[in-house]
């Protein structure tokens, strides 16, 4: 019998994965030279700790039985229980869930939350199913992954096509199976069920804090700064409103209905009213409409992509003239576009720190659930701002020390923290 090769990969890991997992592996390789003696442990980051693939059989409203494929991946739990959302989407794949779980490890460590990274998903187009069917699917999925989740093990949260109601069903199912109320098993719950105040606005507020920190470093006054935002939903809408209230001139907003512009600054509160009545920003009073090319070409101090991934590519990166780009969305800038924009001197605040406000308040929710003692919204916002500033500061110091981008610096900070924990814990047995 031959000895196993020490670094041979498990059969389910393709070292040349062209998908999201491959992108993540490239990012890890890029930080390896900065990890010093901790690089010895780097393989830890390249293999998820635990992967669970489950079959979800469910009776549909018409009496038929359908089967769905579900996943829960715990990438790393060296620093604490796994943490990460659950996505319902027809394109969910194991490679995607693995990469998203790894990015959660990086995000939690970059913000210094006592969590590891995890992610879950079901391969399903939820638009094709009734609420009652979605509830049954959610409950069966929760029962199936119940063997590895728990308040001290792995704590799911909402992601694409899941919400506070989904979390309430997950919490109830887990609690019924355990025989006791376990509010801390998921975050992003309704406030009536141990959810946290401030959670809805948390990501946008974190983006706002990251933008303010970057502006301070670049010696740009927020008051009067020209801002353009793609996305006017939970993240983009909140960030735009907070910047507007701080005196910034939000000159353009881009959503799925169109792009509105006013060189003197948009009235963001009036724009919210317009969106509430019409469903989108297009046609708002006192605005002119722009093409996407005109939007990306705007000269601004702060640009915030907060809609979808992959919006800034080699096709439009050259157009961009902004001093600071704050990534509200996950992965809005392709690596090629990142190089083009950075070479022009634009500071890019990476998603793993810029949009970490949501997971930070999820951490607060988990802490509150453990103590069954709930904080005021003011306390939450105050603590969120302090944690975001500390995360930004740690990233910025490493960027200066190694003369690297903020993105590489965030990965260095995060991977160092994860591997330090790995090293001091040691291997068991
Ligand atoms: P949302 O659904 O509340 O808002 C999305 C916004 O994007 C809407 O204004 C929509 O009109 C706009 N949009 C959609 N398609 C568009 C298109 N083709 N062109 C231009 N605009 C378009 O979503 P959200 O919660 O604000 O999330 C936005 C991004 O932030 C996503 O990438 C999400 O993964 C990321 N994110 C969200 C959170 C959170 O807590 N909500 C946390 C971390 C990251």
pLDDT tens-place string over residues 293-326: 999 999 999 999 999 989 999 999 999 999 999 9
CA distance 419 to 169: 35
Distance 181 CA to ligand 1 centre (A): 33
Distance 236 CA to ligand 1 centre (A): 7
Boundaries of domain holding 206 = 202-354
Same domain for 33 and 170: yes
Same domain for 324 and 275: yes
Q: Phi, psi (5° rounding) for residue 5?
A: -70, 130
pLDDT at residue 379 is higher than 50: yes
Write the pLDDT tens digit of every residue in 67-97.
999 999 999 999 999 999 999 999 999 999 9
Nearest-atom index, ligand 1, CA of 257:
11
Is-contact 119 97, C-beta < 8 A? yes
pLDDT at residue 410 is higher than 50: yes
List, in sequence order, every beta strand (DSSP E) within 231-343: 249-255, 258-261, 288-289, 299-305, 321-326
Residue with tokens 């995607």: 96
Nearest-atom index, ligand 1, CA of 330:
32
Same domain for 230 and 176: no
Asked if residue 427 belongs to a domain, the reply is no
Asked if residue 221 belongs to a domain, the reply is yes
Asked if residue 10 belongs to a domain, the reply is no
Same domain for 93 and 142: yes
Among candidate residues 154, 182, 210, the one where a domain is terminated: 182
pLDDT of residue 9: 79
Asked if residue 341 belongs to a domain, the reply is yes
Burial class (CB in 10 A: 0-12, 13-18, 19+), 42: middle
User: The tokens of 260 are what?
Assistant: 């509105």
Distance 401 CA to ligand 1 centre (A): 34
Same domain for 340 and 279: yes
**Residue 256 CB coordination number (10 Å):** 13
pLDDT of residue 3: 53
Nearest-atom index, ligand 1, CA of 311:
19
pLDDT of residue 1: 47
Interacting residues of 358 by C-beta distance below 8 A, sequence separation 6+: 199, 202, 203, 206
> Closest Cα to residue 134, out of 158, 155, 165, 157?
165
CA distance 63 to 27: 47
Nearest-atom index, ligand 1, CA of 307:
7
Asked if residue 366 belongs to a domain, the reply is no
What percent helix, strand, coil does the chain show, rounded to 5? 50, 20, 35
Average pLDDT over residues 55-74: 98
How many domains does the chain divide into? 2
Among candidate residues 335, 354, 373, the one where a domain is terminated: 354
Residues with CB under 6 A from ligand 1: 203, 230-236, 254-256, 306-309, 328-330, 355, 358
Among candidate residues 354, 385, 412, the one where a domain is terminated: 354
Ligand 1 pocket, mutate which of 196, 201, 234 (most atoms under 8 A from CB)? 234
Average pLDDT over residues 148-174: 97
Q: Whose CA is closest to atom 4 on ligand 1? A: 233
Average pLDDT over residues 132-156: 98
Average pLDDT over residues 357-376: 97
CA distance 196 to 359: 12
Could you give the strand order of the β-sheet that contains 249-255, starting from the edge strand earlier in sequence?
Answer: 288-289, 258-261, 249-255, 226-230, 299-305, 321-326, 347-349
Same domain for 341 and 220: yes
Asked if residue 399 belongs to a domain, the reply is no
Q: Whose CA is closest to atom 19 on ligand 1? A: 256
CA distance 229 to 42: 37
Asked if residue 390 belongs to a domain, the reply is no
Same domain for 109 and 214: no
Which domain CATH number covers 240? 3.40.50.720
Same domain for 106 and 34: yes
Same domain for 164 and 35: yes
Catalytic residue among 83, 107, 119, 249: 119
The SS3 call for residue 348 is strand
Distance 307 CA to ligand 1 centre (A): 4
Is-contact 235 203, C-beta < 8 A? yes
Is-contact 220 301, C-beta < 8 A? yes
Ligand 1 pocket, mutate which of 106, 188, 304, 307 (most atoms under 8 A from CB)? 307
Same domain for 242 and 157: no
Distance 265 CA to ligand 1 centre (A): 22
Asked if residue 12 belongs to a domain, the reply is no
User: Using H for helix, E for strand and C for coil, what is the string for 229-240?
Assistant: EECCCHHHHHHH
Average pLDDT over residues 118-138: 98
Going by pLDDT thresholds of 50, 70 and 90, the confidence category of residue 172 is: very high
Is there a catalytic annotation at residue 46? no
Same domain for 309 and 260: yes
Same domain for 167 and 25: yes
CA distance 187 to 385: 19
Which domain CATH number covers 178? 3.40.50.10860
């Amino acid at each position: 019998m031959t000895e196993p090769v020490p670094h041979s990969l498990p059969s389910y890991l393709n070292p040349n994965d062209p998908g999201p997992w491959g992108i993540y592996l490239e990012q890890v390789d890029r930080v390896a030279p900065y990890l010093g003696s901790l690089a010895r442990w780097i393989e830890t980051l390249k293999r998820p700790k635990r992967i669970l693939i489950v079959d979800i059989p469910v009776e549909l409203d018409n009496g038929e039985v359908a089967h769905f494929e579900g996943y829960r991946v715990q990438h790393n739990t060296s620093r604490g229980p796994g943490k990460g959302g659950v996505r319902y989407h027809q394109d969910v794949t194991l490679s995607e869930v693995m990469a998203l779980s790894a990015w959660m490890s990086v995000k939690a460590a970059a913000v210094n939350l006592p969590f590891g990274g995890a992610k879950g998903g079901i391969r399903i187009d939820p638009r094709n199913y009734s609420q009652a069917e979605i509830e049954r699917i959610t409950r069966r999925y929760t029962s199936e992954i119940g063997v590895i989740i728990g308040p001290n093990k792995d704590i799911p949260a909402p992601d694409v096509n899941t919400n506070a109601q989904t979390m309430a069903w997950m919490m109830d199912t887990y609690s019924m199976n355990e025989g006791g109320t376990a509010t801390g098993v998921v975050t992003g719950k309704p406030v009536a069920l141990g959810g946290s105040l401030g959670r809805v606005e948390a990501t946008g507020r974190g983006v706002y804090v990251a933008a303010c920190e970057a502006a301070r470093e670049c010696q740009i006054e927020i008051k009067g700064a020209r801002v353009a935002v793609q996305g006017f939903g939970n993240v983009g809408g909140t960030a735009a409103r907070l910047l507007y209230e701080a005196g910034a001139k939000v000159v353009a907003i881009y959503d799925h209905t169109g792009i509105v512009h006013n060189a003197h600054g948009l009235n963001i509160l009036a724009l919210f009213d317009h969106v509430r009545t019409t469903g989108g920003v297009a046609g708002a009073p006192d605005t002119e409409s722009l093409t996407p090319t005109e939007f990306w070409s705007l000269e601004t101090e702060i640009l915030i992509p907060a809609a979808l991934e992959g919006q800034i590519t080699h096709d439009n990166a050259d157009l961009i003239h902004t001093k600071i780009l704050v990534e509200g969305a996950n992965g809005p800038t392709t690596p090629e576009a990142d190089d083009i924009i950075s070479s022009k001197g634009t500071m890019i605040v990476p998603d793993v720190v810029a949009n970490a406000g949501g997971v930070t308040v999820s951490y607060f929710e988990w802490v509150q659930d453990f103590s069954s003692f709930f904080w005021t919204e003011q306390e939450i916002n105050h603590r969120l701002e302090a944690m975001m500033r500390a995360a930004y500061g740690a990233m910025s110091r490493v960027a200066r020390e190694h003369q690297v981008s903020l993105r590489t610096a965030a990965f260095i900070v995060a991977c160092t923290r994860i591997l330090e924990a790995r090293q001091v814990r040691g291997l068991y047995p």
